[in-house]
Amino acid sequence: MPSTAILSLSLLTITLTIASAQTFDKTYFLNRTIQSCADVQCPSKNTTTTVACTLTNETYTNVGLTKIPNTTGALAGLTWVEAIVGKDLPDNRHFFKDFFLASDPDFIPPGGACALFFSKISSKVKFVESTFPADVTQGTCAQALSEGCVAKMVERAKGVELKGLRGEEACAKLKTAFENGLDSECAGFATGTTGWTGVEARVLTGPGAPKPITPEQNASSNCWPIQPKSYDLTRVMRIDTTGDGLITTALRELFAITPVLTVFLSGDNGTTVVKQPEAQLSCLKAIDLNEASLANMSPGVPESGTKEADGVRGIPALSLAELLAVVGVGLVSLA
Ligand SMILES: *[C@@H]1O[C@H](CO)[C@@H](O)[C@H](O)[C@H]1NC(C)=O
Ligand SMILES: *[C@@H]1O[C@H](CO)[C@@H](O)[C@H](O)[C@H]1NC(C)=O
Ligand SMILES: *[C@@H]1O[C@H](CO)[C@@H](O)[C@H](O)[C@H]1NC(C)=O
Ligand SMILES: *[C@@H]1O[C@H](CO)[C@@H](O)[C@H](O)[C@H]1NC(C)=O
Ligand SMILES: *[C@@H]1O[C@H](CO)[C@@H](O)[C@H](O)[C@H]1NC(C)=O
Ligand SMILES: *[C@@H]1O[C@H](CO)[C@@H](O)[C@H](O)[C@H]1NC(C)=O
């Protein structure tokens, strides 16, 4: 399988950059808004700082985890997990972004739920954090899309009349509301001019919904990128893009932000009650950090080039100077 660690180039970059910072506190990179492999213990390949997180039939190099706020009290523990991998397939280089919903096995869905993935957004949607390269930046949707746009998107979702609708029908109606309408606050962030493009709707509860990974499917896994480990993971969506072999392309495609609007319909189901329809916008992104790479980030101890970093398949090896130029990295100063 030509599955290669396309990402370790950028990992090397941040490692070297941070190694040259005067002071460095590893905990700075833990338990943030978007968590990484460093928070959920993905296994690394032996002797390298490259993650090989095998989850059912796919091996990922990085993840990003974003909790859905427990605002109503009914959504406790729900977390979106994005896992990424770049692969050279016979036709092209593919960038896979897989999205999982993590939940407590005891979680009882309220009236129903849908996820809308905004898969084609403007390059203006980004996190800017100090001088960090794009593969480790993170933040909230308010930072990536502005508070005004987030508020309008939530308002638009809650304004859709869904009474009596369930499952696919409700999801389809929500999707249409975004394809056919764009609030001025969001105008710069969509690729369409009169509506959002590339909106993918997925039903999360009921007969048409994807099911949690079963123990049988999990038998081939060495990785369960969520805490607590007792949580279920359900693969909801895959975004597959293709591109050339340049590092800038890999960084752009794999570490893009994907806004996801999770809409919970009102309903009373056993122990959980969602009185009003509830919508939460999450900005999902993979983060290029893991335990091994953090462990290597100590001042004055730069990581030597890993095998993958020196010769990523299909990507010409670059010198360190070129690498730094590619991602525009300066010195990281951590207060
Ligand atoms: C992570 O952060 C949250 C709030 O930001 C806090 O409540 C929690 O205790 C932190 N967990 C750890 C393990 O530091
Ligand atoms: C893994 O790395 C350790 C030391 O880092 C080495 O002793 C061991 O032989 C390696 N195992 C494999 C399978 O490469
Ligand atoms: C991996 O599993 C998923 C879900 O079970 C399935 O949709 C997908 O086609 C599988 N991929 C491969 C390469 O077998
Ligand atoms: C979620 O909110 C409910 C009600 O406010 C609370 O009882 C519960 O402990 C919360 N759970 C988590 C994981 O925050
Ligand atoms: C309530 O939960 C049960 C069992 O999980 C499910 O069969 C039923 O469809 C749910 N009702 C609604 C309205 O979602
Ligand atoms: C799946 O497998 C991983 C790795 O062996 C394990 O940590 C996790 O708890 C398992 N999860 C389930 C639901 O079986």
pLDDT digits (tens, 9 = 90+) for 147-170: 999 999 999 999 998 877 878 888
Atom 2, ligand 4: residue with shortest CA distance? 73
pLDDT at 275: 65
- Judged by average pLDDT, the poorest of 118-122, 125-129, 301-305 is 301-305
pLDDT > 80? residue 213: yes
Tell me which residue of 295, 307, 117, 99 sits closest to 197, measured CA to CA. Answer: 117
CB 138 within 8 A of CB 257: no
CA of 157 relative to ligand 4 center, distance in Å: 24
Tell me which residue of 191, 195, 197, 236 sits closest to 213, measured CA to CA. Answer: 236
In the chain, what are the domain boundaries?
8-308
What 8-state DSSP symbol labels residue 278?
E
Which runs of E-coded beta strand occur in 89-186?
Answer: 93-103, 113-118
Three-state DSSP state, 269? strand
Three-state DSSP state, 53? strand
pLDDT at 329: 32
pLDDT > 80? residue 7: no
Interval 178-205 mean pLDDT = 94
Interval 129-149 mean pLDDT = 92
pLDDT tens string 104-122: 988 876 778 899 999 999 9
**42: its two tokens:** 């993905």
Atom 3, ligand 2: residue with shortest CA distance? 47
pLDDT tens string 12-29: 445 445 544 445 577 888
Choose which residue among 57, 60, 87 to substitute to test ligand 3 binding: the one with the highest number of ligand atoms within 8 A of its C-beta. Answer: 57
Identify which ligand lies nearest to the alpha carbon of 213: 6
28 phi, psi to nearest 5 deg: -55, -35
pLDDT > 60? residue 4: no
